[in-house]
Structure 1
Amino acid sequence: MASCGFDGNADMYGIGIRVGFYLQWYSCILASWVSREDVPSMRVSNLMFVSATFLATIIQSLEGKTRPVEIYISLLLTFGGYLYLVPMFIWRALTGCRPQWDPTRYPRVRMGRIFSLLNFGLLLAVSGFQLWFWIVGIKTLSVGDCPDFGFLLLKFDFDTRGFVVANIVIHALLLACCLGAVGLMVVRLFGISHEHSEKIKPNRKFILQAIHTVFNTAVATAVTIATEKTIQWNGISGVSDISSAGQLIPLIIGIEMFIRVIYTAWKGEDKGSNAIDDSSVAESLTTFPDIAIQELV
């Protein structure tokens, strides 16, 4: 492994950039419970960092001087925040796609329309690029004599057909679901189909919000582990030192976000009002374990 190691691109996935992404993910998840008024600005900040990293990844790919594993790491950072859709779609399948059991219908903090459109457009773009990478890019980018390794719960060589096929299937399904959502929006726009809203009990709403948080946290943790293990397995050096402003900026912003959330939680200053009914949450907090068992059995 030592002979196959190489110097990585610290400006794309150096320690400062990686930790900045990790802190943004966890800060946003935590803020949805203790500092809801800060969530919109955190989402915009993360969207900007994802967009910048994604554009840099495209440029590096076009130049053809980057190893596939480096593109893979960058895509973990840019697409990691969207991978919560995988357990979410599995959950929907297990619950028969019943709206009253869909966690995404009852978020702690709702997205604005403009942000939703921008975020959805970025999701489509990154998903499309993922498919290109796993179908075409992985074969055309320079590799050298040493194998590249990736993470899919276990360590896999990029030449492993099952690993490549699994990634193609995952991203193809996600892209298909996204395009299906676009079609559904068009259908509803022309009034061909009508969605009937259904009120649910505050306790169930709280449970669904907790499930959503568990999915987000699990995915953020899995992507963090995948990124760090990939760097370790491929013997990538030069990406563990903070030596440029390009790394310091996302790191400092991530630290500031996390400190802000912790401070708000400590001071009890959460004033978010666009997420849920606070009285419902207060009522649910006292009986959450019992309610969770009754509702999920």
Structure 2
Amino acid sequence: MRLSSRSSFGLFLVLLLVVSGHPVDLAVPAPSFSSTELLPKATCTRPGNAEFYGFGIRLGIYLQILSTIIIMAVSDSNSEMIYDLHDGNAALLLAILIALVKNTPSKSVELADVVILLRLMWLIIICGFSIGHIAAEFRAARSSGKLIAILTAPTAAVFRWTVVGMVSAYNVWFWFRGVTYLRKDDQCQTYAFFFAELDIEGGLRSLYRVTSVLLVLCPPGWLLAYLGFLAGVLVLVMGMVLAFYALIPILLPISIALRIYDICHTTGASIEPARKEPEKRGAFWLRLISITWQLYGPSLQEILLTWTKVREGAAGNKSRPMSTKARTSKSEKVSNLWITYIGLVTFYYFFSILGIELSIYWNKISRPYQLDATGQLIPFVIGILSFIKVIGRACAEAERFIYPRFRKAVNKWSFYLETRRTEPSKQVRCASTPELSSEKFQPESRPRRCNSLPDVGRADDMGPDSAQERDKINAYLKGHYTSDHESSEVEGVFQGLRGGRRKQLIALPLVRQGPEAGSEQETV
């Protein structure tokens, strides 16, 4: 089944709303113990675990995800920084998942700890990975046509989404079995934020059971399953490569013979296509090894194409009214759907932070805002440095967008001020204007910039700034000067000019002033 761009984007909005949610009806079976057995909320103080979600760790994650959102908004599809942040977020996600899975069998974590860590992991998944940029990453890998590029380029993406698949699996287990497994007999309820303070063993648990299954069965879940399968194919291919090298003594003579036969029976083939042939064969053999390529390939292409359209608009149509130019050095365009997607991601970012902090407050976690443990400093410093780097990149992108427009506005304003500064009697009309004679020239008329006399009307110490100085220099060139003093003065002005300016002055039309001149013009 193929999905259009609008239906796929609508499905994503529905899933995001389901994950975020709204207050639900709590008319479902209550917890197994009665309210009389519960302790007062004020006495249920939990020690928490600063190694999992301490103040420094939370701040580092918040800054890292905020950096990713900023880069998603300002960078284009060819930016390497967005892929570096994706890899860093995947490593952070994997570290949290390993710590959680390691401590779950021994019940070293409490229900409140798991709820907070799941919130952190879903914050990284939804806000820390750009689906629109992943489409460009896969497209570049497939267009290369090389076996090594096809195997190595998507490896990072396969790793990222495989980790996301493992988090989804743990999420399903926790809401179906984990809540009962990790429950302790301390008679303290565990609360979570869902636009309200709700008990996780009430209606909220039933809702999260449904959403956890939907996140596995929806089309993004198919994509995760396919990427996980690609990871298995990668291991299989590497094993086959090792087996191939083990059989080199047997296969080498056969391959040489087949190569000689191919060269001898190929007519009109040039050397250059023969060099490119192994690259095409590499893509062919990779598709042949992947048995499910024909099954999952069209679905994967449709999903990637959908998110490419969401980011760039329909087929890059420049006349599309819903598209706006990205603030980059290239002419890449982003659609309004992508801007909406960035807005929703930003909303979920602040929504998740609010939910995490309120969950810590409601569950009475002790010492939640102390940065005293050494293990909290490492992610905190990494998050700060990453955020500073991204802010620098964002400022550079903004400067690249603003500077040409600011420079153009300043140039227009400067020329306007310099034109106003020139006296009307000293303004020069263009040589192409038919009204050049002194009889028809009106000083109060609006002057125009003359192409044949550059820099007139500007504050230029090295060139003439009035018609009188131009006439003096032309008179000097013609030898029509009245006194030695005037000749030496004009000669000093002329010698101070650069060579290029001298040639321009020599080519200027000389307008003779006075009644005897009439409208005659001479060229020096």
Q: Which of 139, 156, 175 in structure 1 is aligned with 2:198? A: 156
1:29 CA drift (Å): 0.6
- Residue among 332, 340, 351 paired with 1:211: 340
Output the CA distance in 2 between the equivalents of 1:151 and 1:17.
20
Q: Deviations over 1:211-250 (max 9, x none)?
A: 2211221111111111000000111012321122321111
- Which consecutive residues of structure 1, in runs of 5 or more, have no partner in the other structure? 86-102, 272-277, 283-297
Q: Is the 8 A contact 2:68 2:127 kept in 1?
A: no
* Cα distance in 2, alignment partners of residues 34 and 252 from structure 1: 24
Instruction: Assess if the C-alpha contact under 8 Å between 1:149 and 1:234 holds in 2.
Output: yes
- Structure 1 segments, 4+ long, off by >4 Å, are 103-112, 182-188, 191-198
Q: What SS does the aligned partner of 2:197 have?
A: strand
CA deviation after TM superposition for structure 1 residue 110, in Å: 4.4
- Corresponding residue for 2:72? 32
Cα offset, 1:193, TM superposition = 7.0
- For 2:365 and 2:90, how far apart are their aligned partners in 1? 27
Which runs of structure 2 are paired with 1:60-79 in the superposition (5 Å)?
60-79=103-122
Output the CA distance in 2 between the equivalents of 1:193 and 1:265. 36
- Contact preservation (8 Å) 1:64, 1:142: no
For residues 214-253 of structure 1, the aligned pairs below 5 Å read: 214-253=343-382
The equivalent residue for 1:145 is 187
AA matched with 2:119: L
1:141-198 Cα deviation digits (max 9, x unpaired): 14321100012222111221x1001111111101112443367788982168745766
Amino acid at match of 1:152: F
Pick from 163, 171, 176 the counterpart of residue 135 of structure 1. 176
CA distance in 2, matches of 1:108, 1:25: 20
Which 5+ residue runs of structure 2 have no aligned equivalent? 1-40, 139-152, 228-289, 306-313, 324-333, 406-524
Partners of 1:67 and 1:38 in 2: how far apart? 37
Q: CA deviation at 1:113?
A: 1.6
Q: 1:41 aligns with which of 84, 97, 119?
A: 84
Other structure's SS at 1:169 match? helix
Deviation at 1:65, TM superposition (A): 2.9
Q: State the one-letter code of the partner of 1:231.
A: I
What is aligned with 2:223? 181
Q: In the alignment, which residue of structure 1 is the partner of 2:239?
A: none
Deviation at 1:75, TM superposition (A): 1.3
Equivalents in 1 of 2:296, 2:119: separation in Å? 38
Q: CA deviation at 1:4?
A: 0.9
Q: Is the 8 A contact 1:37 1:270 kept in 2?
A: no
CA distance in 1, matches of 2:197, 2:356: 12
TM-fit CA distance, 1:32: 2.3
Secondary structure of residue in 2 paired with 1:190: helix
1:265 and 1:179, CA in 2 relative to 1: closer, same or farther beyond 3 A?
closer
Quote the residue 1:89 is aligned against: none
Matched residues in 1 for 2:136 and 2:85: separation? Answer: 12
Q: CA deviation at 1:136?
A: 0.6
CA distance in 1, matches of 2:399, 2:100: 37
1:58 alignment partner in structure 2? 101
Alpha-carbon separation, structure 2, partners of 1:248 and 1:166: 36
Q: Distance in 2 between matches of 1:170 and 1:176?
A: 10
Q: Match for 1:155: what amino acid?
A: E
Deviation at 1:115, TM superposition (A): 2.0
Give yes or no for contact 1:11–1:246 (8 Å, CA) kept in 2.
yes
Pick which of 186-195 and 12-21 moved more. 186-195
The structure whose residues are more often helix, as a share, is 1
Contact 1:127 1:175 in 2 (8 A): yes
Structure possessing the higher radius of gyration over alpha carbons: 2
Q: State how far apart, in whole Å, the 2-side matches of 1:257 and 1:8 are.
A: 27
Q: Say if 1:81 and 1:220, in contact at 8 Å, map to a contact too.
A: no
> Which position in structure 2 is the counterpart of 1:13?
53
Report SS of the residue matched to 2:335.
helix
Q: Are the structure 2 counterparts of residues 20 and 84 from structure 1 closer, same or farther at C-alpha, using a change threshold of 3 Å?
A: closer
CA distance in 2, matches of 1:193, 1:110: 16
| CA positional deviation for 1:270 | 9.1
TM-score with structure 1 setting the length = 0.76
Tell me how far 1:206 sits from its aligned partner: 2.7
Give the 3-state SS of the residue equivalent to 1:124 in structure 2. helix
Instruction: Name the CA shift for 1:236/1:215 in 2 (closer, same or farther; >3 Å).
Output: same
Whole-angstrom CA distance in 1 between matches of 2:296 and 2:361: 52
Q: Within the alignment, does 1:201 sit opposite 2:244 as a pair?
A: no
- How far is the alpha carbon of 1:105 from its aligned partner? 4.7
Find the aligned partners of 2:135 and 2:72 in 1 and give their Cα distance. Answer: 6
Cα distance in 1, alignment partners of residues 95 and 60 from structure 2: 13
Q: 1:106 to 1:42 in 2, by over 3 A?
A: closer
Kindly state the Cα deviation for residue 264 of structure 1 after the two structures are TM-superposed.
2.1
CA RMSD after TM alignment: 3.1
Cα deviation, residue 33, structure 1: 3.2
Partner SS for 2:208: helix
